[in-house]
Amino acid sequence: MSATSTKATKTSKKATGEKKSTSTAKKTSPVKEVTSIEEKLDALYNLQKIDSEIDRIRIIRGELPIEVEDLEDEIAGLETRTGKIQSEIDEITEDISNRKLASKESEAAILKYKERQNNVRNNREYESLSKEIEFQELEIKLNEKRTKEGKVKIENKKELLTEATERLELKKADLETKKAELDSIISATQKDENKLLKASKEAKKNIEERLVLAYDRLRNNSKNGLAVVELIYGNKQRSGHRDASCGGCFNKIPPQRELDIVTKKKIIICEHCGKILIPSQEESED
């Protein structure tokens, strides 16, 4: 084997060795450390502060969004009602018109039957025509009766329609006022809310999914939107000890669980209300 060939072989082996070494280095590269319990709790508390501020902004709007929604539903109901009343009026009006035409046809039939009576050959034929005339006269009377009843119904329906229309106009004016008021509040707070919503979304990215799911579930089931609460302390006893309680339901926390919460060694859930407990921030600062 020539010296050049030997040198090339050594170079090739060296390159292969370097590749293997690089590959091994990639496989054994250190994995990112899992966030500690303390960091998880801090991240959850930070998320809670952001979401609580969002809640505060929405509380400023008060009951206006609900009032606007209720008014919109009521207006939709009134529009349906006025439309139904108008349809009923139109139906009765059409029925009256049809009865007038029917009465005219009956009158024409009576004239025809009377003319035929003048040319009858026997009493039987005469009586038959008389019955037809009597029937048409009864039809005319029935149409007149139904027409009068229909006109009374129309008057009643028109009163209901006027009342419903006036109420509808009042509700529409009220809705415009409420919407303008709500839009004014939203425009004043929307920028801050959007910023906080974005911050909340970003904060959740730094928290593992199972904790976020638990946090969201607790917030949705809570009237005040709190999922993470601080410990609160009562007055000092003679021994100098102060009892710790849950900041969510105010139930007393046993000393051992208090210690676990304060040291942030575990994620502790209140056994009464299910909220995530963290140390008192004021106590920590002191």
pLDDT for residue 39:
92
pLDDT for residue 61:
81
Q: Are residues 188 and 75 in the same domain?
A: yes
User: Measured between alpha carbons, how far is 158 from 150 in angstroms, rounded to an integer?
Assistant: 12
% of residues, the chain, pLDDT over 70: 86
- Give the pLDDT band of residue 9 (cuts 50, 70, 90): very low
Q: Are residues 199 and 215 in the same domain?
A: no
Q: Are residues 146 and 185 in the same domain?
A: yes
pLDDT for residue 187:
85
Bridge partners (DSSP) listed for residue 269: 276
Q: Render pLDDT for 68-86 as a digit per residue (tens, 0 to 9).
A: 999 999 999 999 999 999 9
Q: Which domain holds residue 186?
A: 57-205
Assess if residue 227 is contained within a domain: yes
pLDDT for residue 284:
61
Q: Are residues 242 and 215 in the same domain?
A: yes
Residue 146 near residue 91 (C-beta atoms within 8 A): no
Q: Are residues 61 and 187 in the same domain?
A: yes
The dihedral over CA atoms of 242, 244, 250, 256, expressed in degrees to the nearest 10, equals -140
Assess if residue 254 is contained within a domain: yes
Q: Are residues 126 and 157 in the same domain?
A: yes
Write down which residue in 188, 205, 222 finishes a domain: 205
The total of structural domains in the chain comes to 2
Bridge partners (DSSP) listed for residue 276: 228, 269
Write down which residue in 205, 230, 249 finishes a domain: 205
The least confident of 12-26, 127-141, 148-162 is 12-26
Asked whether residue 20 carries a pLDDT value surpassing 70, the answer given is: no
Mean pLDDT, residues 263-268 taken together:
91
Assess if residue 38 is contained within a domain: no
- Give the pLDDT band of residue 27 (cuts 50, 70, 90): very low
Q: Are residues 260 and 139 in the same domain?
A: no
Q: Render pLDDT for 143-187 as a digit per residue (tens, 0 to 9).
A: 999 999 999 999 999 999 999 999 999 999 999 999 999 998 888
Burial 103-123 (b: 16+ CB within 10 A, else e): beebeebbeebeeebeeeeee
Give the CATH number, domain containing residue 94.
1.10.287.1490
Q: Render pLDDT for 196-229 as a digit per residue (tens, 0 to 9).
A: 999 999 999 989 999 999 999 999 999 899 999 9
**Alpha-carbon torsion 195, 197, 198, 203, what sign?**
positive
Q: Are residues 94 and 106 in the same domain?
A: yes
Assess if residue 27 is contained within a domain: no
Assess if residue 12 is contained within a domain: no
Asked whether residue 22 carries a pLDDT value surpassing 70, the answer given is: no
Asked whether residue 261 carries a pLDDT value surpassing 50, the answer given is: yes
User: Measured between alpha carbons, how far is 87 from 157 in angstroms, rounded to an integer?
Assistant: 10
% of residues, the chain, pLDDT over 90: 69
CA distances from 237 to 232, 233, 243 (A): 15, 11, 9
DSSP string, 197-209: HHHHHHHHHTS-H
